[in-house]
Structure 1
Amino acid sequence: MSVRQFTDELLDAARAAAYDDVAEALSVLARADSTPVPAAVVGELVDRCATAVGTHHRTDADAAYTVIVVDERGQLTEVERLPPGPRSAMRALLAALNHDTASREIHVELATCGTPADIVDVLAHLLVWIAELSKPSAAALPALSCFPD
């Protein structure tokens, strides 16, 4: 099965609220013997998030994307307050949006270098972000959820 097919099935299961299937797939993926496998899936999900952003917010090719991080009270905070894996995934997404392939690859690798539980955390964040970005909305981009450790 290709990475694209796997992510298609994973996203279909998430959209269908088949959470047991999603949990099982994430568990198997996080325990994969090969680091490139989770990294390939994270990279695919990052690219899908970037594509979803593009459907919400079209800008000229020279525009730069940035992120504003707020805490659970809606107060501005530092990106370093995010858990390491999701922080790397967020940076990979920003790199993808800003067409910085080398940085995207570095941050995808960093997002998948933790424990199996850390990798599940990253994958869960990316699935939630895709769901949030896929909702039809006004011209503004939706806030992306981040969950503390």
Structure 2
Amino acid sequence: MTDFDTGIGDLAERLVTATRTGDHDYVADVLAKLAADDPRTRASALLRDLVDTGAGMIRARTREDNDALYTFDVTTEHDEPVHVDIVPPAPRAALRALAASLNRDAVDRDIHAVLATRGTPDEVVTVLVQCLLWTLELRDTRTPAVRLNCF
């Protein structure tokens, strides 16, 4: 059985663990294979799983309010505002997929997951790494205020 014979949730957890433990060769190999697939159905599914996991961790830190609408402020490392349209397309789509997941909008999440994974193989690997890092950041911090890094 290979990693591609398992469910996306299991694969996502293996990738998160491998990223945390520094098994970068494994992570790079799996992500390169996902990015090389055409269509990128599994890459998109992995991104959806990662943003859903992140959304669940964010919601767990906040008071449950069914009428809440989650949004993001995009800033530089110096807390200067950044217009979201200058963020590269794949990370911007991943951030929008995360917002859609937070707001329980599966259709919008799916659309943005596909958009985030339709670039070049290098862009797909980069956005999946970004989502893996967001998952690690959210697991490692427990503060109510969420600050996600983007590279």
TM-score, normalised via structure 2 length: 0.90
Indicate whether 1:69 and 2:74 are aligned. yes
Gap change, CA 1:17 and 1:82, over 3 Å in 2: same
The residue aligned with 2:150 is 146
Query: How far 1:53 sits from its partner (Å)?
Result: 0.9
Indicate whether 1:31 and 2:32 are aligned. no
Number of residue pairs matched by the alignment: 146
The residue aligned with 2:137 is 132
Q: Is the 8 A contact 1:3 1:44 kept in 2?
A: yes
The residue aligned with 1:113 is 118
RMSD: 1.3
Q: What amino acid is the match of 2:150?
A: C
**Greater Cα offset, 117-126 or 24-33:** 24-33
The residue aligned with 1:60 is 65
Query: How far 1:71 sits from its partner (Å)?
Result: 1.8
The residue aligned with 1:43 is 48
Deviations 1:7-39 (A, max 9, x none): 111111112121121111111111123321111
CA distance in 2, matches of 1:137, 1:7: 21
Q: Is the 8 A contact 1:82 1:146 kept in 2?
A: no
Q: Is the 8 A contact 2:34 2:40 kept in 1?
A: no
The one of 12, 26, 29 aligned to 1:21: 26
Indicate whether 1:82 and 2:99 are aligned. no
Q: Is the 8 A contact 1:56 1:139 kept in 2?
A: yes
Query: How far 1:137 sits from its partner (Å)?
Result: 2.6
TM-score, normalised via structure 1 length: 0.91
Percent identity between matched residues is 38
Residue 68 of structure 2 aligns to a residue whose secondary structure is coil
CA distance in 2, matches of 1:120, 1:95: 21
Query: How far 1:110 sits from its partner (Å)?
Result: 0.5
Give unmatched runs, 5+ long, in structure 1.
none
Runs of 4+ in 1 over 4 A off after TM superposition: none
Query: How far 1:82 sits from its partner (Å)?
Result: 1.1
